[in-house]
Amino acid sequence: MTIQITMPALSPTMTEGKLAKWHVKEGDTVKAGQVICEIETDKATMEVEAVDEGVIGKLLIAEGTEGVPVNTPIAILLEEGEDKSAIKDASAAPAATKPAAAAPAPAPAAPAKPAAPAPIAKPAPAPSSGERIFASPLAKRMAEQAKLDLSRIKGSGPHGRIVKDDIDKAVASGTGKAGAPATVSRPVSTMTGSRQDKLVPHTGVRKVIAKRLTEAKQQIPHIYLTVACRIDALIEARKQMNGKSEAIKVSVNDLIIKAAAMALRDHPDVNASWTDDAMLLHGAVDISVAVSSDRGLITPIVRDADLKGLAAISSEMRDLAKRARDGKLKLEEFQGGGFTISNMGMFGIHEFSAIINPPQAAILAIGAGEDRAIVERGEIKVAKMMNVTLSADHRVIDGALGAQWLKTFKSYIERPTTMLL
C-alpha cells in the first residue's frame, strides 16, 4: 500500500516547519537514506532523508510552504508494483504513515523555487456558520495583522488550505478586507515602487531569538559591570604569535575567549546557571560565541575552552563561524554552553550591555579597542584600551563575585603571557 511521508519533528521544540526545498519530483525513484527535501525549523535548516524505497507518487506540500504542522503528510510514496491509481485508492483508505528521517547535519537554507503563477485571489463566499476554515498558522497570523477575513479568501494550498501566498495576493489586490484597513507602523504609502510598506514574515530563528530575549529581560534580574582593559601587550603578543607561522592566525577574539575561559576556571561559581531547586555549577568550561548570520544571531560553542591552546581555539572558531553563517551547524554545536561572549568591537561600538542567553547566568560584551589618554606614574600617555561589560544574573552572581571575575579576566588580557603558562 502507499506510504505517507510526514513532516518530521527535527527538534524537541519543533511544532511546525517550512518545507524549504524539494530534492525530488513526482515519478522519481528514491532509496532509503536519500535526501528528499530540506525543512526549515525553529533552530536550523535540516536535510530530510527517505526511510523507505519507492517512487514519489505525489508531492502534497509545495516547496516554500511555511507553518506545516509536525506529522502532516507532505508526500505519498508508491511501493514496488504500485502506480498512480493507488493514490486514488489511498484517499478512500488511510495510507501507511512513515516519518522522514533527519540527515546527520543541517544544510543551508535554499531559496524556495517559485511556484507556477496563480490567479489573483478573489473573494470567496463566507462559510456557513460553524464551518472550519483551513489555513496555515503563518497565514492566520498575517491575516490577523492585515485585518483580513479568511472566509473571503480562496486557498491555493492542498485541499483549499489558505497559505502565505494567498494572503500576499489578498493584501496586494485589496480583497478579503474585514472592515478597517490594516494597521502598520505608519500609514501605507500610496506610491508605487520600493517606498511602499510591506510585511516581512518572521523566520523560525528570529521568532526563537525574540522569545528567548524577551523572557530573559522579563525573568532574569540583570546586573551590569564594566571595566576598561589595556590591550597594548595583547596586540603585541598576537602579532608575535601570528608572525611565527602562516598556518596560525590568532585573532583578538580568540585571546578573549581564552582569557574568559581561564577566568571561569579560576571562578567556577560564575560558570553556573539558576534553577528553582539548586544552583547548577557546570563541570566543563564551554564558551558560546555570538555570530551574526543572515538567519539571525547564532552562538556556536567552543567546548572545554580552558583546556585548549590558542591555535586550537582559533582554528575551531573559524570553522564554527563559517558554518554558522552558512547554516551548517549541527544542533549540538550551538545548543548548550555555560557563558557567552558577544564582540561588537569590529563595528566600532565603544561599549554596550548584552542580554543574557538563558539558561546561562552571564554574557560578556566586548567593545572596540581604541587609543585613549591615560595617566601613568603621573604622566599622560596614549594607550590602546577596550571596554568590556559583564551582564550577570544577580540570582547567581553577586556584584562582588562579578567584580572578582572581571578583575581576573582583565589580568589575563593585560598580561597575555600568563595564558600560555
Q: What pLDDT does residue 88 have? A: 65
Percent of the chain at pLDDT > 90 equals: 49
**145 and 198 Cβ atoms separated by less than 8 Å:** no
Q: What pLDDT does residue 125 have? A: 46
**SS3 readout for the chain:** CCEEEECCCCCCCCCEEEEEEECCCCCCEECCCCEEEEEECCCCEEEEECCCCEEEEEECCCCCEEEEECCCEEEEEECCCCCCHHHHHHHHCCCEEEECEEEEEECCCCCCCCCCCCCCCCECCCCCCCCCCCECHHHHHHHHHHCECHHHECCCCHHHCECHHHHHHHHHHCCCECCCCCCCCCCCCCCCCCCCCCCCCCCHHHHHHHHHHHHHHHHCCEEEEEEEEECHHHHHHHHHHHHHCCCCCCCHHHHHHHHHHHHHHHCCCCCEEECCCCEEECCCCCEEECEEECCEEECCEECCHHHCCHHHHHHHHHHHHHHHHHCCCCHHHCCCCCEEEEECHHHCCCCCCCCCCCCCCEEEEEEEEEEEEEEECCEEEEEEEEEEEEEEECCCCCHHHHHHHHHHHHHHHHCHHHHHC
Q: What pLDDT does residue 287 have? A: 97
Is the pLDDT at 292 greater than 50? The verdict is: yes
Q: What pLDDT does residue 121 have? A: 39
What is each CA distance from 41 to 13, 295, 320, in whole angstroms?
A: 9, 12, 20
Q: What is the pLDDT of residues 366-419, one digit of tens each?
A: 999 999 999 999 999 999 999 999 999 999 999 999 999 999 999 999 999 999
Q: What pLDDT does residue 182 have? A: 40
Phi/psi-derived region of residue 348, left when phi > 0, alpha when psi is between -120 and 50, beta in every other case: left
Is the pLDDT at 126 greater than 70? The verdict is: no
Mean pLDDT of 133-141: 79
Least confident of 7-11, 24-28, 255-259, 332-336: 7-11
Q: What pLDDT does residue 214 have? A: 94
Percent of the chain at pLDDT > 70 equals: 83
What is each CA distance from 388 to 11, 48, 67, in whole angstroms?
A: 35, 42, 40
Q: What pLDDT does residue 208 have? A: 80
Q: What is the pLDDT of residues 325-372, one digit of tens each?
A: 888 888 889 888 999 999 999 999 999 999 999 999 999 999 999 999
Q: What pLDDT does residue 187 have? A: 46
Mean pLDDT of 2-13: 82
Partners of 272 in the beta sheet? 281
Q: What is the pLDDT of residues 139-195, one digit of tens each?
A: 887 888 888 888 888 888 776 778 888 888 888 787 777 654 444 444 444 444 568
Mean pLDDT of 32-52: 82
Does the annotation mark 394 as catalytic? yes
What cell numbers appear for 262 in the block?
581561564
Q: How far apart are CA 102 and CA 48, in angstroms?
A: 4
Is the pLDDT at 114 greater than 80? The verdict is: no
Q: What pLDDT does residue 138 have? A: 79
Q: What pLDDT does residue 193 have? A: 55
Q: What is the pLDDT of residues 69-107, one digit of tens each?
A: 989 999 998 887 777 776 765 443 344 455 566 554 444
The per-residue pLDDT of the chain, averaged, comes to 83
- Give the amino acid at 222: H
Q: What pLDDT does residue 113 have? A: 41
Q: Which candidate in 159, 202, 350, 394 is catalytic?
A: 394
Q: What is the pLDDT of residues 215-227, one digit of tens each?
A: 999 999 999 999 9
Is the pLDDT at 311 greater than 60? The verdict is: yes
Is pTM, for the whole model, over 0.85?
no
